[in-house]
Amino acid sequence: MTAKLLLDNLTNPALLFFFLGILSVRMKSDLEIPADASKFISLYLLFSIGFKGGQELAKNHFSPEIGYSILLGFAIAILIPFYTFFILKRRLNIEDSGAIAAAYGSVSAVTFVTAGVFLENQHITYGGHMVAIMAFMEAPAIIVGVLLIRFFNNQESKTPIKNIVYHSFSNGSVLLILGSLVIGYFATEKQALDIKPFTTDIYKGFLAIFLLDMGIISGRKLDGLLKAGWFPILFALIIPLINGSAVAVISGAITHDIGNRFILSILAASASYIAVPAAMKIAVPKANPGLFLPMALAITFPLNITLGMPVYMAIIQHV
């Protein structure tokens, strides 16, 4: 079953476009997605998943399962940066350890989007509240990472925690997905149907082009990561699988919904390369983005969308 899921995932057109992007860099091709187009597509994807999540959320009444799922999401966002910081600190400096820990405690919206397509291909649904959980997991991880850096550096940062929290939620990607979630929640079925061709019908096509762009960016950053040595690469390969597999098992205690458990696992396994770098640039300017960015984007992202998703699904279906 796992082998079939892996094969189906590896032949997914959107994923193949990601590899095409990497290949184009290795071949020194001039293929690239214009920056403005790339930004528009990323905004579109966030808008679409937020709006559809709000629509699904409106159909569900608040339940203990939703409450426990939200609590688990917050716990993931706090515990992962906390424990990974101490692993990283054995080999790296305090600033880089905190920034990487925050990135791996936070989430990747693009991985979430790809996971949604993976579930759709398996004819499995997930709750609209998962979109809200994803958005809310950004800030706690960033705050924990910054607090750990402050504590172990034994010095006060010039940036107040309240400013970091504000920046986490005012970050464009977080604000758009939360705003779209609220708008989708209040929109009627007829109003949602009017824009369905835009929110749903062209979604997979835009995702394919976006992953092509992600492949190009990943290919360009790979060489810099390889020069950093074996430890960051090993961390970026092993930690996501541990986090995703652990949550795949633990989530069974709060919900039996396969789609929701899978999304929680993906959120735990993914690493942020949008919100966290933006926040760390303000709060911890000494942290090296040339390290945590390629770790999340060039290693962990392709790991999750190729091997990780079939593994987490297999664990959920058998545990």
pLDDT at 73: 93
For tokens 């989708």, what's the residue?
Answer: 184
Give long-range contacts, CB 8 A cutoff, 24+ apart: 214-217: 214/18, 214/21, 214/110, 214/297, 214/301, 215/17, 215/18, 215/19, 215/20, 215/21, 215/22, 215/23, 215/24, 215/25, 216/21, 216/22, 216/24, 216/25, 216/31, 216/32, 216/33, 217/21, 217/297
Q: What is the pLDDT of residues 182-230, one digit of tens each?
A: 898 898 888 888 888 888 788 888 888 888 887 888 788 777 777 778 8
Kindly report the length of the chain.
319
Residue 4: pLDDT band with limits 50, 70, 90: low
**Rounded CA gap, 245 and 243, in Å?**
6
Q: What is the pLDDT of residues 108-122, one digit of tens each?
A: 888 998 898 889 888
pLDDT at 147: 84
pLDDT at 9: 63
Domain positions in the chain are: 2-23+32-318
For residue 133, pLDDT over 90 is answered with no
For residue 311, pLDDT over 60 is answered with yes
Answer yes or no: CATH 1.10.3370.10 is held by domain 2-23+32-318.
no
For residue 168, pLDDT over 60 is answered with yes
Q: What is the pLDDT of residues 35-76, one digit of tens each?
A: 888 888 888 887 887 888 788 778 777 788 889 998 999 999
pLDDT at 313: 94
Mean pLDDT for all residues in the chain: 85
The residue-averaged pLDDT of 155-172 equals 66
Q: What is the pLDDT of residues 66-84, one digit of tens each?
A: 899 989 999 999 999 999 9
For residue 16, pLDDT over 90 is answered with no
pLDDT at 8: 65
For residue 85, pLDDT over 80 is answered with yes
For residue 248, pLDDT over 60 is answered with yes
